[in-house]
A and B are shown apart, each in its own frame.
Chain A
């Protein structure tokens, strides 16, 4: 199996996620893009674990997936609350951090 191609896949997933985080207007879209970044990281862990024959990378993936699941829960709750408060899930229109 050509590991190199899979590394390129990981880079592609990361770039796609990054692009999504920076450019999507909908907060849900941003959250989904974040998932892509996590997936690319998890993929990397798996690849290195496979390449070096070390199972600890796989263990990290399991931790990573469970943490991501929790993160999604928290993220969705925040977005729902924001939507209730502001009647929008558009990230551009939420500027409460402005100094």
Chain B
């Protein structure tokens, strides 16, 4: 079989499992779980086969069928037709592997984590997971941007369904709705961008776009507008400022879901989209500048918010936003290798962190880090793997995060505008600090609750996934050279600096160690200093805990403007639209009432009407009309 067929099977296998679970075996939870895992395992094996032969993909493989024909003549679709199919090149092959691996790890982990769920509920869970795997792989392999948009919405749907998995909890239902609405804000821009692209430039095929990116340069202003609109979609999905507010709330879903969808794969779809179209973005300096600024600012902003969170999942959520900001910034300063490589490593270690957090939550039955503590002694596997994830996230060598983060720091250092570099280098310190804080409080210090004292390592399925992802978190960094070689075809103008300064490298390492050291020192040994600091800077603390009031602003807009509009719309509906309908109804009734007097029921009256009618017609006929 050629690689195209392999990718095709790995794409549709989860869909088949979704159909089977959805229609037949939903009530049998365990069976559905094994079916779904079997499907994603098949995808994983096939994607590994593709990765092993990745050099063959120098010429991309694609197959398509006509989806929306345009200008059909003699049964042959015209040039503007839209196709549906897959496009397998080196970028999508790597992404396919990342998605399949993390999805597989998370689904295996879920057997242990969701073991207390009822059987139909488990079936529903795995049906959603299969649908998600199908949609995410579909997004990865999409042939054109419209197809990306379809799968983009499908993964959004899965995210909505899985955030609201505990739909009987009002917070979960609310968070699901919030995630859906906020991402839709960005998607509106995305679809408008696609429409302009299709109707003004006539090209939405990815292969055409990345090989002839200069088409968009023919009309520079319109081209910039299109790219900014497409980037809007990425901002919504990848939770960049100012649409980042949905991701922390999305933590209401089950923890494995947060690991898969809200850390490793779906939220990275925005980054993937920009990488996918990177040759086009690269031509527009102005758009790239916006991406770099938004990305780096998001990284900084959400890292500060992570400092004061107490819910371990929320800390990780803000950290995810921050790391996505890193990737965006890297793409913005013009390095797809740095951006995508960070996506590659981040997927493993952030999924690992979430799964580790899930194991810790499973052990102590609380999300708050202040209810944990001392888990290190009781649950070594959880603590060690979480520790590996933490070190990778902070960028400590030799863990994978070090390589990708260092690459980003260097690339931003050589960017013309120094602002992204400043934001990111400060964020290195903040990242190390909040992760150090979480690790110290939750895992190292003395147990604070009875549950924490009885903490234990999870069962086999959960441990297996933790170890699997930990291995990747350690070793993924070594593929740096390989990936930068593989992705060079998307990189138009690579930086060629005769000698790379060691200053940013040393600075970021130093800051990471400092952050870890400070947080450990403060949170393990100096509670008094901590309280003092908290008191002295209480106003900053409040602002951070209120998340810079951004959520409040959105809520205010919602309450004042959206609700006002709804009131107006409801008035219009009740009085104008309904008014017209009621008027018609009223008058029909009135005419009916006045006409019913002629229906006497007496047969002779009807005969009389017949005579009148016949006479009238006779007169007409005689007069020759």
Contacts and interface: CB of A to CB of B under 8 A. Distances in A.
Contact of A22 (B599, B600, B601, B604): B604
Q: Interface of chain B, helix or strand or loop or mixed?
A: helix
A99 B599 contact: yes
Given A22-B607, A22-B611, A99 B596 contact: yes
A94 B611 CA distance: 21
A98 interface: yes
Interface string B417-441: 0000000000000000000000000
A4 B608 CA distance: 28
B602 interface: yes
Interface residues of A, number: 13
B611 A97 contact: no
B603 interface: yes
B601 A97 contact: yes
Interface string A83-99: 00000000110111111
B596 A97 contact: no
Q: Which of A22, A23, A92, A99 has the most chain B CB atoms closer than 10 A to its own CB?
A: A99
A99 B601 contact: yes
Contacts of B600: 95, 98
Nearest to A99: B599
A96 B622 CA distance: 37
A98 B606 CA distance: 11
Interface string A19-30: 001110000001
B599 A30 contact: no
A91 to B, nearest CB: 6
Interface string B601-623: 11110111001000000000000
Given A18-B611, A22-B611, A97 B603 contact: yes
Interface residues of B, number: 11
Interface in B255-282: none
A96 B606 CA distance: 13
A23 B607 CA distance: 10
Contacts of A94: 601-603
Nearest to B596: A99
B603 A22 contact: no
Nearest to A30: B604
B602 A91 contact: yes
Nearest to B603: A91
B601 to A, nearest CB: 3
B602 A22 contact: no
Contacts of A96: 601
A98 B608 CA distance: 16
Nearest to A96: B601
Nearest to B601: A98
A27 B416 CA distance: 107
Contact of A92 (B599, B602, B606, B608): B602
Interface string A75-88: 00000000000000
A96 B596 CA distance: 14
Contacts of B607: 21-22
Contacts of A21: 604, 607
B604 A91 contact: yes
A95 B602 contact: yes
A35 B433 CA distance: 111
A92 B599 CA distance: 13
A71 to B, nearest CB: 15
Nearest to A21: B607
Nearest to A34: B607
B599 to A, nearest CB: 4
A62 B468 CA distance: 104
A30 B602 CA distance: 13
A91 B606 CA distance: 12
Contacts of B596: 99
Contacts of B606: 97
A23 B611 CA distance: 13
Contact of A95 (B601, B608, B611): B601
A18 B608 CA distance: 9
A99 B607 CA distance: 16
A67 to B, nearest CB: 19
Interface string B293-336: 00000000000000000000000000000000000000000000
B367 to A, nearest CB: 70
A83 to B, nearest CB: 15
Interface string A26-46: 000010000000000000000
A21 B600 CA distance: 16
Given A18-B611, A22-B611, A98 B599 contact: yes
A94 B602 CA distance: 7
A87 B601 CA distance: 18
Contacts of B601: 94-99
A1 B459 CA distance: 122
A53 to B, nearest CB: 27
A75 B603 CA distance: 14
A22 B596 CA distance: 21
Nearest to B600: A98
Contacts of B611: 18, 22
B541 to A, nearest CB: 79
Contacts of A92: 602, 604
Interface string B578-612: 00000000000000000010011111101110010
Contacts of B602: 91-92, 94-95, 97
A21 to B, nearest CB: 5
Q: Which of A30, A94, A96, A97 has the most chain B CB atoms closer than 10 A to its own CB?
A: A97
Contacts of A98: 599-601
Contacts of A99: 596, 599, 601
Contacts of B603: 30, 91, 94, 97
Given A22-B604, A91-B602, 6 more contacts: A30-B604, A94-B601, A95-B602, A96-B601, A97-B599, A98-B599
26 contacts: A21-B607, A22-B604, A22-B607, A22-B608, A22-B611, A23-B604, A30-B603, A30-B604, A91-B602, A91-B603, A92-B602, A94-B601, A94-B602, A94-B603, A95-B600, A95-B601, A95-B602, A96-B601, A97-B599, A97-B601, A97-B602, A98-B600, A98-B601, A99-B596, A99-B599, A99-B601
- 3 residue pairs, one from A and one from B, having the closest CB atoms: A98-B601, A95-B601, A99-B599
Interface of A: 18, 21-23, 30, 91-92, 94-99
